[in-house]
Chains A and B, each alone.
Chain A
Amino acid sequence: MAVVLVLVLIVVGSVLFHFLSPWWWTPIASNWDYIDHTIIISFWITGIVFAAVVLFMAYCVFRFRHREGNRATYEPENKRLESWLMIVTAFGVTALLVPGLFVWSRFVTVPSDATEIEVVAQQWQWSFRLPGKDGKLGTSDTRDVTADNPLGVAPKDPNGQDDVLVEAADLHLPVGKPVKVLLRSIDVLHDFYIPEFRAKMDMIPGSVTYFWFTPIRTGTFQVLCAELCGQGHPLMHGVVVVDTEQDYLAWLGQQQTFAQLSAPPQSGSANQPPGKIIASSLGVAANSKLSRSAQ
Chain B
Amino acid sequence: MVDVTPADAIPPAEVGEVELYHPHSWWTKYVFSQDAKVIAVQYSATATAIGLVALVLSWLMRLQLGFPGTFDFITPEAYYQFITMHGMIMVIYLLTALFLGGFGNYLIPLMVGARDMVFPYVNMLSYWVYLLAVLVLVSSFFAPGGPTGAGWTLYPPQAIMSGTPGGQDWGIILMLSSLILFIVGFTMGGLNYVVTVLQGRTRGMTLMRLPLTVWGIFTATVMALLAFPALFVACVMMLLDRVLGTSFFMPAIVEMGAQLQHNGGSPILFQHLFWFFGHPEVYIVALPAFGIVSDLISTHARKNIFGYRMMVWAILAIGALSFVVWAHHMYVSGMNPYFGFFFATTTLIIAVPTAIKVYNWVLTLWRGDIHLTLPMLFALAFIVTFVNGGLTGLFLGNVVVDVPLSDTMFVVAHFHMVMGVAPILVIFGAIYHWYPKVTGRMLDETLGKFHFWVTFVGAYLIFFPMHYLGLMGVPRRYAELTDMTIMTESARHLNSFISIMAFTVGFAQMVFLFNLIWSIRHGRGAGGNPWRATTLEWQTPQTPPAHGNFGKELPIVYRWAYDYSVPGAKEDFIPQNVPGDFAPSREPA
By a beta-carbon cutoff of 8 Å, the part of chain A in contact with chain B is 2-3, 6-7, 10, 14, 17, 21-26, 32, 34-35, 38-39, 42, 45-46, 49-50, 53-54, 56-57, 60-61, 64-66, 70-78, 81-82, 85-86, 89-90, 93, 96-97, 100-101, 103-105, 107-108, 122-124, 141-143, 145, 147, 152, 183, 186-189, 191, 193, 195-196, 198-207, 209, 221-222, 224-235, 237, 273-275, 282, 285, 289-290, 292-294
Contacts and interface: CB of A to CB of B under 8 A. Distances in A.
A100 B565 contact: no
A176 to B, nearest CB: 21
A228 B362 contact: no
Contacts of A70: 369
B77 A199 contact: no
B461 to A, nearest CB: 9
B193 to A, nearest CB: 28
Contacts of B225: none
Given A24-B468, A234-B76, A97 B344 contact: yes
B464 A228 contact: no
A206 B76 CA distance: 27
B75 A285 contact: yes
A39 B399 CA distance: 11
Contacts of B380: 3, 7, 57, 61
A73 to B, nearest CB: 4
Interface string B260-272: 0000111110000
Contacts of B398: 38, 42, 96-97, 100
Contact of A46 (B304, B349, B394): B394
Nearest to B80: A231
Contact of B163 (A17, A123, A200, A224): A123
A199 B404 contact: yes
A137 B408 CA distance: 32
Nearest to B336: A108
Contacts of B400: 34-35, 38, 100-101, 103-104, 107
B334 A66 contact: no
A131 B264 CA distance: 26
Contact of A289 (B150, B163, B264, B406): B163
A202 B334 contact: yes
B588 interface: yes
Contacts of A221: 485
A274 B256 contact: yes
- Place the interface of chain B in its size category: 35 or more
10 contacts: A39-B404, A46-B394, A61-B380, A75-B367, A104-B340, A200-B403, A204-B267, A205-B157, A230-B158, A274-B257
Contact of B259 (A145, A189, A201): A145
Given A7-B380, A145-B254, A193-B407, A21 B338 contact: no
Nearest to A197: B404
Interface stretch (B50-58, B93-101, B111-119, B471-479): B471-479
B334 A231 contact: no
A72 B388 contact: no
B401 A23 contact: no
A226 B408 CA distance: 8
Contacts of A229: 158, 163
A232 B479 CA distance: 9
B212 interface: no
Contacts, number: 356
B161 A96 contact: no
A275 B566 contact: no
B165 interface: yes
Nearest to A286: B163
Nearest to B160: A188
Interface stretch (B41-49, B353-361, B506-514, B546-554): B353-361
A177 to B, nearest CB: 21
Nearest to A80: B589
Nearest to A108: B337
**Which of B164, B254, B303 gathers most chain A CB within 10 Å?**
B254
Contacts of A90: 352
Given A73-B565, A74-B567, A282-B76, 15 more contacts: A3-B380, A23-B491, A24-B468, A42-B398, A57-B365, A64-B365, A66-B302, A78-B589, A85-B355, A89-B351, A104-B337, A124-B163, A142-B254, A205-B253, A289-B256
Contact of B366 (A39, A60, A101): A60
A123 to B, nearest CB: 5
Given A42-B395, A64-B370, A274-B257, A54 B384 contact: yes
Given A61-B365, A193-B475, A46 B404 contact: no
Contacts of A86: 352, 356
Interface string B353-395: 0011011101101111111100001001001100110011011
A64 to B, nearest CB: 5
Interface in B407-457: 407-408, 453, 456-457
Interface stretch (B124-132, B135-143, B306-314): B306-314
B400 to A, nearest CB: 4
A264 B96 CA distance: 60
A149 to B, nearest CB: 11
A232 B76 contact: yes
B349 A35 contact: no
A144 B358 CA distance: 56
Nearest to A53: B387
B345 interface: yes
B256 to A, nearest CB: 4
A167 B49 CA distance: 49
Interface of B: 75-77, 80, 149-151, 155, 157-158, 161-165, 167, 251-259, 264-268, 301-304, 306-310, 332-334, 337-338, 340-341, 344-345, 348-349, 351-352, 355-356, 358-360, 362-363, 365-372, 377, 380, 383-384, 387-388, 391-392, 394-395, 398-401, 403-404, 406-408, 453, 456-457, 460, 464-465, 468-469, 471-473, 475, 477-486, 488, 490-491, 494, 562, 564-567, 572, 584, 588-589
Nearest to A23: B468
A200 B303 contact: no
**Which of A32, A207, A290 gathers most chain B CB within 10 Å?**
A207
A183 B303 contact: no
A77 to B, nearest CB: 4
B570 to A, nearest CB: 11
Contact of A228 (B155, B368, B395, B453): B155
A78 B364 CA distance: 11
Contact of A101 (B344, B368, B404): B344
Nearest to A109: B337
B455 to A, nearest CB: 13
A64 B362 CA distance: 12
A125 B64 CA distance: 24
**Which of A42, A66, A186, A235 gathers most chain B CB within 10 Å?**
A66
B310 A222 contact: no
A81 B332 contact: no
**Which of B75, B158, B352 gathers most chain A CB within 10 Å?**
B158
5 closest A-B pairs by CB: A195-B473, A206-B251, A230-B163, A209-B334, A188-B158
B480 to A, nearest CB: 5
B326 to A, nearest CB: 16
Given A195-B404, A230-B161, A224 B484 contact: yes
A61 B372 contact: yes
Given A60-B368, A72-B565, A77-B308, A198 B403 contact: yes
Contacts of A78: 306-307, 363, 589
Contacts of A103: 400
Contacts of B475: 193, 224-226
Contact of A189 (B155, B460, B481): B155
Given A96-B398, A228-B477, A198 B304 contact: no
A22 B478 CA distance: 22
A23 B486 CA distance: 10
A45 to B, nearest CB: 8
Nearest to B75: A285
Given A57-B365, A64-B369, A231-B80, A97 B403 contact: no
